[in-house]
């Protein structure tokens, strides 16, 4: 057991030494070295320290805390009234992947959710937004945002205002403590530095919040957008999320394209969301029938398409498009994915455009087996 973990780290994080020692022995805290970062990665939470936390060991110790999990409400009324005070701030929830950007060893570095330094994101983020002035003035803050767009290696979604790749900021948090800025301060500071905030729908009185949020989410859904995150304006209470029916169906379509590569909880949770949404909206028989129809199609069509595809002796795969300067960058990103346990290879590279093929192995193997008569 390195003495740093037994002696200094408990003080830095304000966590019991025995908890940290246990996590280290269980492999839930691991040494991490990549992209010039040397540190400790938290694979699971330890006390109040979130999973995804990175303790970077450079000239000085810099702690990039994990991004906190956002709980979901299934019933806006009464959840919001119980959970929040007099007012809520409502922001658009963007559908991409979570990125924390911080200055580590004086270098702008991008971490993905689990506390990995993603080479692609670290390279792309500074090309998309100029954070130099911000970090010069606020070296102890972490920019938390969503990388979105179609040339997105983790979660692709088309946004007309974004196109291939874009970044939207939703939180500014302090290194070490993870203390978030209030919504108003964040909006102002981002404006000041010309940095892109997620869409802010304003501060809404709690009494009208469920009704107003439904209007918003229904509109967002019609535009194929994911939903909202509802926040305490002071950021002293944890935020909640609420999503559109279109988002639930979109995720079901994707997951049922590769049904054996997702846990069952993934499917169940999306169906449950539909049930409560229909109930809270007091939908008519016709509206419920339409919802049922769409839900059924989201499940059955993609699944049958994949079964047919695999039956012709094909692998279940998806192609990820990224733009890089040279082949080696694409190779490096594919290696990064393989380190995360993903089956991925560079399929082609031409004029800066790399296609990375991600194979969904369990879906391929299990469907092939059933097609040959294997029993379920």
- CA dist., res. 199 & res. 119, Å (int): 27
DSSP-derived secondary structure for 83-152? HS-SEEEEEEEP-SEEEEEEEETTEEEEEETTS-B-HHHHHHHHHHS--HHHHHH-TTEEEEEEEESSS-
Sheet holding 317-323, edge to edge: 317-323, 353-359, 343-350
**Min dist. Cβ of residue 339 to ligand ATP (A):** 20
Report CA 59 to chain centroid distance, whole Å: 30
Question: Residue 69 or residue 305: which is nearer to ligand ATP going by CB?
Answer: 69
Question: Residue 87 or residue 331: which is nearer to ligand ATP going by CB?
Answer: 87
Task: Provide the greatest CA pair distance for the chain.
Answer: 65
Question: Residue 35 or residue 98: which is nearer to ligand ATP going by CB?
Answer: 98
**Min dist. Cβ of residue 372 to ligand ATP (A):** 35
Calculate ∠ Cα 99-50-8, nearest 5°: 110
Question: Residue 72 or residue 366: which is nearer to ligand ATP going by CB?
Answer: 72
Q: Which residues bind ligand ATP (CB under 6 A)?
A: 67, 69-70, 91, 93-94, 98, 146, 170, 198, 229, 241
**Min dist. Cβ of residue 375 to ligand ATP (A):** 33
- CA dist., res. 213 & res. 206, Å (int): 11
Of 119, 145, 146, 151, the residue nearest 338 (C-alpha): 119
Question: Residue 247 or residue 330: which is nearer to ligand ATP going by CB?
Answer: 247
**Min dist. Cβ of residue 171 to ligand ATP (A):** 6
Tokens 């296609």 locate to: 355
- Cβ count within 10 A of residue 268: 10
| CB-nearest residue to ligand ATP | 98
**Min dist. Cβ of residue 229 to ligand ATP (A):** 4
Question: Residue 255 or residue 354: which is nearer to ligand ATP going by CB?
Answer: 255
Report whether 340 contacts 325 (CB < 8 A): no
Of 347, 348, 364, 248, the residue nearest 297 (C-alpha): 248
**Min dist. Cβ of residue 355 to ligand ATP (A):** 25
Copy the structure tokens of residue 169: 């900021």
Of 54, 63, 67, 148, the residue nearest 113 (C-alpha): 67
**Min dist. Cβ of residue 368 to ligand ATP (A):** 30
**Min dist. Cβ of residue 306 to ligand ATP (A):** 23
Question: Residue 91 or residue 329: which is nearer to ligand ATP going by CB?
Answer: 91
Question: Residue 239 or residue 259: which is nearer to ligand ATP going by CB?
Answer: 239
């Amino acid at each position: 057991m390195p003495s740093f973990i037994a002696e200094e780290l408990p003080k830095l994080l304000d966590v019991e030494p025995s908890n940290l020692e246990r996590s280290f022995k269980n492999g839930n805290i691991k040494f991490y070295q990549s992209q010039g970062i040397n540190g400790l990665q938290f694979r699971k939470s330890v006390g109040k320290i979130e999973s995804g936390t990175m303790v970077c060991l450079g000239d000085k110790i810099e702690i990039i805390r994990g991004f906190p999990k956002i709980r979901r409400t299934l019933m806006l009324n009464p959840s919001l009234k119980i959970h929040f005070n007099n007012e809520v701030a409502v922001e658009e929830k963007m559908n991409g992947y979570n990125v924390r950007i911080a200055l580590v060893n004086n270098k702008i570095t991008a971490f993905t959710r689990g506390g990995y330094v993603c080479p692609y994101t670290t390279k792309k983020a500074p090309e998309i937004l100029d954070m130099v002035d911000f970090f010069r003035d606020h070296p102890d803050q972490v920019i938390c945002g969503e990388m979105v767009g179609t040339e997105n290696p983790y979660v692709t979604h088309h946004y007309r205002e974004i196109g291939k790749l874009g970044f939207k900021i939703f939180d500014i948090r302090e290194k070490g403590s993870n203390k978030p800025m209030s919504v108003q301060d964040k909006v102002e500071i981002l404006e000041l530095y010309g940095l892109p905030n997620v869409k802010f729908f304003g501060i809404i009185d709690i009494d009208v919040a469920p009704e107003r949020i439904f209007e918003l989410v229904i509109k967002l859904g019609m535009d194929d957008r994911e939903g909202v995150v509802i926040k305490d304006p002071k950021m002293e209470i944890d935020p909640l999320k609420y999503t559109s029916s279109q988002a639930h169906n979109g995720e079901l379509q994707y997951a049922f394209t590769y049904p054996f590569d997702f846990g069952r909880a993934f499917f169940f949770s999306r169906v449950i969301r539909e049930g409560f949404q229909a109930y809270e909206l007091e939908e008519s028989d016709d509206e419920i029938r339409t919802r049922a129809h769409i839900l059924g199609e989201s499940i059955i069509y993609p699944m049958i398409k994949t079964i047919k595809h695999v039956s012709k002796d094909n692998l279940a795969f998806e192609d990820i498009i990224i733009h890089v300067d040279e082949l080696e960058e694409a190779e490096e990103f594919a290696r990064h994915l393989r380190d995360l346990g993903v089956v991925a290879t560079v399929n082609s590279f031409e004029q800066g455009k790399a296609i990375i093929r991600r194979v969904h192995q369990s879906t391929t193997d299990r469907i092939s087996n059933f097609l040959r008569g294997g029993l379920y």
